[in-house]
Amino acid sequence: MIVLAIDTSAAASVALVEGERLVSDRTEFAARRHVEFVGPALAEVLADGRAEGLVPDAVVVGIGPGPFTGLRAGIAAGIGAALGVGAPVHGVVSHDALALRAFAATSDASTDPAAVTGSDPAAVTIATDARRREVYATTYSGLDEAGLPVPASGPAALFPVDLAERRPARRVGRGFVLYRDVLGDPEDGDPNALDPTAAWLARFAHRALSSGRALPGTEPLYLREPDAKPSARRETLLS
């Protein structure tokens, strides 16, 4: 299965994967202008695929959690790309991509889907930047029979001190870098392990779709109201 993926929940990332093989990707970890990055990156990745005779069978977009503006950019681009290549579009929780990478990095990853606590040594806790001095956090208990991460709690927007009380064992994501004094350092400081990337989003989707799993739609996971809201006067004018 050939999967095109886009994630703008944190970094801006586009990738094309054939099975588990990465065909092409473009990622900007310091992205703040997601719209400007995603368009050219998408064109380049699709061109790389065409050079190998590859056309996406499915398009997936990261649905967050993440900020309002960033998520909208990636989801809109994914819907447009799906129309262009004539493929279905699906959503994937962005933390699922980071969790899959973390479990893939360890040879002893659990395959027991039973729920565990955040302090269990097999559990992986993802924490990404939620701004407003908060993190988005999700804990995964292990991998299921299809090799997919099993969420045990979250995603949720938490203050770092509240996440620290859960005593996360395996710490993954940029949230642990931003609040290391409270949460401790992440287990891997590689930028690819700090923010969700489209390559791992695509691999997650490939495993899910190949095993007959249903993926969610493209409705974004904001978890809270956008940082910027229209003023009362503007809302009146628009009504």
- Which superfamily is assigned to 2-95+195-210 in CATH? ATPase, nucleotide binding domain (3.30.420.40)
Torsional class of 71: left (φ above 0), alpha (ψ -120 to 50), beta (otherwise) = alpha
- Which two three-digit tokens encode residue 34? 């997601």
Q: Read off the pLDDT of each residue in 187-195 and give the average, rounded to a whole number.
A: 87
For residue 17, what are the contacts with CB-CB under 8 A and spacing of at least 6? 2, 3, 5, 23, 199, 202, 203, 206
Burial (CB < 10 A; 0-12, 13-18, 19+), residue 118, is buried
pLDDT for res 50: 98
Pairing type for strands 170-172 and 124-131 reads parallel
For residue 47, what are the contacts with CB-CB under 8 A and spacing of at least 6? none
Say whether pLDDT at 37 is over 90. Answer: yes
Q: Is the pTM of this model over 0.85?
A: yes
Of all residues in the chain, what percent carry a pLDDT higher than 70? 87
Q: Please, where in the chain does CATH 3.30.420.40 lie?
A: 2-95+195-210, 108-193
Task: Round to whole Å and give the CA distance between 38 and 49.
Answer: 16
To which residue do tokens 């586009």 refer? 14
pLDDT for res 121: 56
Asked if CATH classification 3.40.50.1820 holds for the domain at 108-193, the reply, yes or no, is no
Say whether pLDDT at 11 is over 50. Answer: yes
How far are the Cα atoms of 9, 117, 125, 138 from residue 141, in angstroms, in the given order?
23, 8, 9, 10
Q: What backbone phi and psi angles, to 5 degrees, belong to 96?
A: -60, -35
pLDDT for res 111: 42
- 129, amino acid identity: D
| Helix-, strand-, coil-residue percentages of the chain, each rounded to 5 | 35, 25, 40
Q: Read off the pLDDT of each residue in 22-35 and give the average, rounded to a whole number.
A: 88
pLDDT per residue over 41-94, tens digit each? 999 999 999 999 999 999 999 999 999 889 999 999 999 999 999 999 999 999
pLDDT per residue over 94-153, tens digit each? 999 999 999 988 744 444 433 334 445 579 999 999 999 999 999 999 999 999 999 999
- Which two three-digit tokens encode residue 186? 């992440």
pLDDT for res 45: 99
pLDDT for res 189: 86
Of all residues in the chain, what percent carry a pLDDT higher than 90? 77
pLDDT for res 66: 94
